[in-house]
Amino acid sequence: MKKTGLGLLLALALAACTSPSGIRTTGSLRIQGVQPNVVAGCVVRAGDWMALKGNTFGTQEDWDSGQNYVLFPPDLLASAELTRESDPATLFFQVPQGATSGTLQVHVEGVGDAEIPIQVMASAYTPQMAVPVCEAPTPPE
């Protein structure tokens, strides 16, 4: 009985460590980090860059063809750029004009999906901009 309880505890601990709290994933997709850290309460504005780090995001060709996508509420597609394919995979995208708060959806064909809670503000300045985890990433070159 103790081995079963310990195994369950270890499985729960592993699941808790595979993605930041508040991010739901399916399949084998794992999100390791979001910048700015919208899960911790950071807000974003239209035009801000965001970055995801994870185990895999497919290929740039799949993003360009629309097979993989990032969807902001209310159903706004963001063009994405895969800047690193592994160790960890890194995906950059911009918050589109008209995006609203809700659930950001990421789809990687054949890998899985992610749902990330997001707060979008309309104002040009947010008080959290000075907090290091809330800084927008540098755009890819």
pTM here is 0.78
CATH of domain 24-120: 2.60.40.10
Query: What is the tens place of the pLDDT at every residue in 52-62?
Result: 999 999 999 99
Residues 119, 96: Cα–Cα separation, whole Å: 13
Query: What is the tens place of the pLDDT at every residue in 4-18?
Result: 544 444 444 344 444
Q: What was the pLDDT predicted at 7? A: 46
Q: What was the pLDDT predicted at 122? A: 77
Q: What was the pLDDT predicted at 14? A: 40
Residue where the block lists tokens 């592993």: 14
The answer for residues whose C-beta is within 8 angstroms of residue 108's C-beta and 6 or more apart is 29, 56, 57, 58, 62, 68
Q: What was the pLDDT predicted at 130? A: 54
The answer to whether 33 and 60 are in contact (CB under 8 A) is: no
Residue where the block lists tokens 């309880």: 5
- How is the chain split into domains, by residue range? 24-120
Ranges under pLDDT 70 in the chain? 1-21, 123-132
Residues 58, 109: Cα–Cα separation, whole Å: 8
Q: What was the pLDDT predicted at 132? A: 63
